[in-house]
Amino acid sequence: MKPIKMVDLQTQYQNIKTQIDAAIQQVIDSTAFINGPAVNDFKTDLEKYLNVKHVIPCANGTDALQIALMSLDLKPGDEVITPTFTFISTVEVVALLGLKPVFVDVDPDTFNINTNDLRKAITKNTKAIIPVHLFGQCADMEEIMKIAKENNLYVIEDNAQAIGAEFRFSDGKISKSGTIGDIGCTSFFPSKNLGCYGDGGALFTNSDQLAEKLSYIVNHGMQRRYYHDYIGVNSRLDTIQAAILKVKLQYLDSYITARQKAALYYDNAFANEPKLKIPARYAKSSHVFHQYTLQAIDFSRDELINFLQAKQIPAMIYYPVPLHLQKAYQSYVKQNEKYPIAEHLSKIVFSLPMHTELDEEQLEYITSSVLEFINK
C-alpha cells in the first residue's frame, strides 16, 4: 500500500509532471517572472471556469481578503462579521486594517455561519460580512445576500476551501462559489483544492468598478507606472505559479470528482455508526471536500487520532480553537457573548486524509481502522 498522507501532492504531481515541467521551463526560458503572459492566460481561463467577469490574481489568500477589504472605503471601527469557526486569516486582516471583527456562531451540521445569529449581530456600524465556505461547502449565500441587501452590507466570500463548488438558488440559478458576493477571495496554497507550488491567491468580482480598483491595489495602488491613486500593496501572483495553475485548472473538475468519490467511500463506511456524525450535505450547495470532517459522538477524538497515528494514518483537527477564544483577539470579544456550537465542534471534530490520489486499498484501511477503534 502507498503511504497514507493527509494530502498527497507528490503522486498528484507525478501524474501531470510532463505538462507542469514544460510550463515552468517555458517561464524560465522567457524570464518573464513578474506579470508574464501566463498570469493573464490563467486569469482568463479562471474567469471562464467560474463564469465571473473579473479575476484579479494576487500573492496569497490572506492578501486577497485584505485587498478586498481595502477596496471598500471602510473607516476604522467599522464592523465586519465573520464566523468564529474558521482559519485565522478571515479575521486577521479585519483587525490589521483597524476594523472591528464581530464573531458569529456556526451551524452544527454544515460548520458554516449561522444566519439567524448573523442577523442578530448586525448593528448600525456593521459594514461587511465575510462568510467562509468551510471545508468545501458553501454557506447559505441566498440568505446571506438577502440579509446584506436589507442592511446595505458588503459581502466578501472567503472561498479558499471551496473553489469549484456550486450554489443553487431557490429559482434554480446556479453560481460557482466566490462569484455571488461583491468580492470572492481564494487561495492557491499547495494543499488547497486548486493549489500551486508555493503561495498564490485571487479575487473574483462581477463589478467593473471594484475590479478596476482591486487591480490597482494589488500593484501599489498604481494605475499608470509611478502614479499612485490608492494606497496599495505588493501582492502579485508569480508567473511560474500562474503557469502551474493554468495546467492544474484543467484538472480541477476531475480533482473534485476524486475527492467526492473518497468522501462517498467514507460516508458509506460510517453512515450507520452512531458514534460518528458524517459531514452533512447542504441541499443548496455541492461539496468539494477540501476536508472530510467527522464529529466524534461520546468518545475521545484524541485517543482515536493516536490510535490511527500508530497505524500510520494521519488525522488532523480543523480547528482546535475558535477565533473568539484566540488570545490575540480577546479585546474584540463582547462580554456575555456565547458561541456554544463552535466551542463544542472544536472539541469533537477531526478530519481524515482527503486528496485526489486516495485509492480503494487506502480508503479500506483507513475506514476499517477507524471502525476497529470505535468498536473495540
Ligand X SMILES: *Cc1c(COP(=O)(O)O)cnc(C)c1O
Interface ranges with ligand X (CB under 6 A) = 60-62, 86-87, 89-90, 132, 158, 160-161, 187, 189, 199, 201
d(CA 143, CA 190): 32
Shortest distance, CB of residue 307 to ligand X, whole angstroms?
27
Shortest distance, CB of residue 132 to ligand X, whole angstroms?
5
Shortest distance, CB of residue 90 to ligand X, whole angstroms?
5
Shortest distance, CB of residue 187 to ligand X, whole angstroms?
3
Cβ neighbors of 47 (< 8 A, separation 6 or more) are: 53, 54, 55
Q: Which CB sits closer to ligand X, 90 or 205?
A: 90
Residue type (1 letter), 191:
S
Name the residue number minimizing CB distance to ligand X.
61
What is each CA distance from 123 to 128, 146, 342, in whole angstroms?
11, 16, 22
Shortest distance, CB of residue 92 to ligand X, whole angstroms?
9
Q: Which CB sits closer to ligand X, 100 or 290?
A: 290
Question: Do the strands 79-83 and 100-104 form a parallel or antiparallel pair, or are they unpaired?
Answer: parallel
Q: Which CB sits closer to ligand X, 132 or 153?
A: 132
Q: Which CB sits closer to ligand X, 167 or 265?
A: 167
Shortest distance, CB of residue 371 to ligand X, whole angstroms?
29
The C-alpha cell that represents 339 in the structure block: 458561541
The C-alpha cell that represents 11 in the structure block: 503522486
Q: Which CB sits closer to ligand X, 202 or 313?
A: 202
b/e per residue 153-188 (b: at least 16 CB within 10 A): bbbbbbbbbbbbbbbbeeeeeebbbbbbbbbbbbbb
Residue at grid coordinates 463506511: 269
- Cis peptide bond prior to 319, omega within 30° of 0: yes
Q: Which CB sits closer to ligand X, 61 or 279?
A: 61
Shortest distance, CB of residue 115 to ligand X, whole angstroms?
18
Residue at grid coordinates 469533537: 348
Rg (alpha carbons) of the chain, rounded to whole number = 21
d(CA 249, CA 195): 9
Q: Which CB sits closer to ligand X, 163 or 269?
A: 163
What is each CA distance from 297 to 69, 258, 276, 278, in whole angstroms?
39, 28, 6, 11
Q: Which CB sits closer to ligand X, 90 or 239?
A: 90
Shortest distance, CB of residue 180 to ligand X, whole angstroms?
16
The C-alpha cell that represents 26 in the structure block: 517555458
